[in-house]
Homo-oligomer: A and B are copies of this chain.
Amino acid sequence: MSPSRSSETSAHERLYRNLRQRIMLGELPPGQALTLRGIAAEHRVSMTPAREAVRRLVAEGALSLSSSGRIATPELSVERIEELAALRGLIEPELASRALPRAHQALIERMAVINAAIGEAAESHDAIGYIRTNLEFHRLLYLRAQAPAMLAIVETVWLQLGPTMRALYGRVKRNEPPRHHRMILASLRAGDEPGLRLAVRADVTHGLRHLGTT
C-alpha cells in the first residue's frame, strides 16, 4: 500500500504501542471486546499487523482470548489480582533498592513534581491521568535501577492490571496522592534503604487491598 505515513517503525509496532498504552492506562474497561478488523480499520491498515499486535499483547497478558478466539481485555479474578499485587510487592522494592544509590537530588525533585501532578489528577477525578502519573512516578525511579529485565516484567504486571485499575480508581474517589509516596521521597532523601523498601511495598500493596467491596 502507499506508505502515506512514513513512520520509522513498522505498522504492527505502532498498533502495539497504541493498544498497550490504552490498556495500561485503563482506558479500556475489563471485558471490553475488540476485533481484528476494528483495530485494523481504526489505524487504516490491514488485518495482518493488527493480528501481530494482538498476539503480542495476548502473550503479555494484556489481552485474553476466549475459547473461540475472540479478543477482549481480561476480567481478573480476585485471586489473580492479589497475585499480581504480590508480584509488585516482591519486585518493586528490589527495583527501588537498586535505584537508591543512583537517585540524585534532581531525580527526587522530578519525582516530587510528578507526585504533585498525581494530586491534581486526583482532585479533578481524572482516573486515567491519575494512573498515568502514578506509573510515571514509579517508572522514573525504577529506570535508575539499570535493570531492564526487571522493569519489563513489572511493566507487564502493570499492563495486566490496567483495566482493573481503571475500574478500581473509577470507583474509589481519591482526592490526594497515595500517602506512601511522601514516605518514598523521604526515604530517598535520607538514603534509607530498608525504609524505602517498606514504603514501596506498602504503596504497592495498599492500593490493591480494598477489593472486598467488589
Chain A residues with CB under 8 Å of chain B are: 10, 12, 51-52, 55-61, 69, 80, 83-84, 86-87, 90-91, 94, 147-150, 152-153, 156-157, 160
Contact for A150 among B61, B69, B86, B148, CB less than 8 A: B86
Distance in angstroms from A149 CB to nearest chain B CB is 4
Q: How far is the CA of A140 from the CA of B91 in the complex (A)?
A: 23
Whether B56 lies near A149 (C-beta < 8 A) is: no
A55, A84, A94: residue with the most chain B Cβ atoms closer than 10 Å: A55
Contact for A83 among B12, B56, B147, B160, CB less than 8 A: B147
Q: How far is the CA of A61 from the CA of B86 in the complex (A)?
A: 22
Copies of this chain, whole number: 2
Distance in angstroms from A8 CB to nearest chain B CB is 11
A10, A87, A148: residue with the most chain B Cβ atoms closer than 10 Å: A87
Interface of A is mostly: helix
Contact for A90 among B60, B83, B91, CB less than 8 A: B91
Indicate whether A149 sits within 8 Å of B84 (C-beta atoms), given known contacts A52-B51, A55-B56, A56-B56. Answer: yes
Q: What are 16 inter-chain pairs, A to B, with CB distance below 8 A?
A: A51-B52, A55-B59, A56-B58, A61-B149, A61-B152, A80-B148, A80-B149, A83-B148, A83-B149, A83-B150, A87-B149, A87-B150, A90-B91, A91-B91, A153-B153, A153-B157
Distance in angstroms from A154 CB to nearest chain B CB is 10
Whether A87 lies near B153 (C-beta < 8 A) is: yes
Q: How far is the CA of A84 from the CA of B148 in the complex (A)?
A: 10
Q: How far is the CA of A59 from the CA of B156 in the complex (A)?
A: 10
Contacts of A91 in B (CB 8 A): 87, 90-91
Q: Known contacts A55-B59, A56-B58; can you find 17 more A-B pairs with CB under 8 A?
A: A56-B56, A57-B59, A59-B59, A59-B60, A80-B148, A80-B149, A83-B149, A83-B150, A86-B147, A87-B149, A87-B153, A90-B90, A90-B94, A149-B160, A153-B153, A153-B156, A153-B157
